[in-house]
Amino acid sequence: MKICKLSLGLVFFSLLIVSCGPTAELAYVHDAQRDSAFALKGQFSGGIQANDLLGIYVESETPESTIQFNQETNKIAIFNGTVMNPGSSAVTGYLVNHDGDIIFPVLGKIHVVGLTHNELAALIESRLVSEGHIIDPVVTVKLMNFKVCVLGDVVRPGQLVVAGERLTIFEALSMVGDLTIFGQRHNVTIIREENGLRTIGEIDLSSKTVFDSPYYYLHQNDVIYVEPNMRKKKNAERDPMIMTYISSAVSIVSVLSSMFYYYILSKRYLQ
């Protein structure tokens, strides 16, 4: 009977090792009052950067006057990171070079780095009018290669390429399957490079302060890193075969206890 008790003890011990660990707060923005409203303080555009692919479209009440500004001339097609020839079926746009310039039809070289999309649209409209090309231009500027990278303890880490330029931290995490149960929600790291500067910040997904963070809205080329919690770090330091050893030991003890039990029964009935 002692062997049976020992085997049961080992089973419970192995289950305890698997299930034990510091309890973690898994809820998002758990301190936010429900049915409450918050003013949005962040901005979802950090300005145009080198290697941005811009979609620029010119409209007017006289469509014939816009033809030369919407043609494919001077446009570069990008497909899976490879520069393609103009006229390709891939997405086309104006690629911002390393000097921060684009080459726009008729207007020529325009320095765009640091401008917001609305500022660039206003600049092109102003030049089209002042240089006598179009009387009533309406220019739309969009980012066509918005991408962020998500690493660490998420279900499907990788690079995300999305349409538009508005992406929140929660939207990005949902696109990679959310954090795993081991991912720390209190200090998610965001690495951001803009205007020649690299900043490394943290965001707390468990608190309502997430909405006030400058990292709530992601910017072009942001890198999100979800650090593993202490439970996973401690597990990584252990022998990866420890659970196999425990499982084997429990199996052996179970077999021995069964043999001993049948031995006792056989002796009792043979007497």
| Residue 208 belongs to domain with CATH number | 3.10.560.10
Q: Domain check: are 197 and 266 in the same one?
A: no
Q: Domain check: are 58 and 121 in the same one?
A: yes
Q: Domain check: are 182 and 104 in the same one?
A: no
Q: How far is CA 66 from the centre of its chain?
A: 38
Structure tokens at 94: 């104006």
Q: Domain boundary residue among 143, 163, 181?
A: 143
Question: In a 3-state reduction of DSSP, which class is residue 115?
Answer: coil
Start-end of H helices in 50-160: 117-130
Residue 38 or residue 50, greater confidence:
50
pLDDT of residue 237 exceeding 70: no
Can you count the helices (H) and strands (E) in the chain? Answer: 5, 12
- State how far the Cα of 269 lies from the Cα of 140, in Å rounded to an integer: 93
Residues 129-150 have a mean pLDDT of 94
Least confident of 68-77, 86-95, 167-176, 245-254: 68-77
pLDDT of residue 191 exceeding 70: yes
Torsion of CA 17, 19, 24, 25, to 10 degrees: 180
Least confident of 42-46, 85-89, 162-166, 257-261: 85-89
pTM of this prediction?
0.63
- Domain assignment present for residue 42? The answer is no
pLDDT of residue 26 exceeding 50: yes
The per-residue pLDDT for 252 is 80
- State how far the Cα of 86 lies from the Cα of 61, in Å rounded to an integer: 28
Q: Which residues contact 247 (CB under 8 A, 6 or more apart)?
A: 14
Structure tokens at 271: 């007497």
Query: Where residue 53 falls among pLDDT bands split at 50, 70, 90?
Result: very high
Q: Are 230 and 23 within 8 A, CB to CB?
A: no
- Domain assignment present for residue 59? The answer is yes
Residues 186-198 have a mean pLDDT of 89
Residue 140 is given by DSSP the state E
The CATH number given to whatever domain includes residue 133 is 3.30.1950.10
Residue 157's domain comprises 146-228
- Domain assignment present for residue 256? The answer is yes
The per-residue pLDDT for 17 is 46
Classify residue 209 as exposed, middle or buried by CB count within 10 Å of its CB (0-12, 13-18, 19+): middle
- State how far the Cα of 188 lies from the Cα of 168, in Å rounded to an integer: 13
Residues 186-193 have a mean pLDDT of 93
Residues 109-132 have a mean pLDDT of 95
pLDDT of residue 87 exceeding 90: no
Residues 162-182 have a mean pLDDT of 91
Q: Domain check: are 118 and 159 in the same one?
A: no
Q: Domain check: are 65 and 111 in the same one?
A: yes
pLDDT of residue 263 exceeding 80: no
The per-residue pLDDT for 202 is 94
pLDDT of residue 72 exceeding 80: no
Our count of domains for the chain comes to 3
Q: Helix 242-270 and helix 2-19: axis angle, to 10°?
A: 160
Residues 208-228 have a mean pLDDT of 92
Hey, which residues does 192 pair with through a beta bridge? 199
Classify residue 96 as exposed, middle or buried by CB count within 10 Å of its CB (0-12, 13-18, 19+): buried
The per-residue pLDDT for 43 is 61
Q: Domain check: are 219 and 244 in the same one?
A: no
pLDDT of residue 248 exceeding 80: no
The per-residue pLDDT for 126 is 97
- Domain assignment present for residue 75? The answer is yes
Q: Are 93 and 54 within 8 A, CB to CB?
A: yes
- Domain assignment present for residue 26? The answer is no
- Domain assignment present for residue 110? The answer is yes
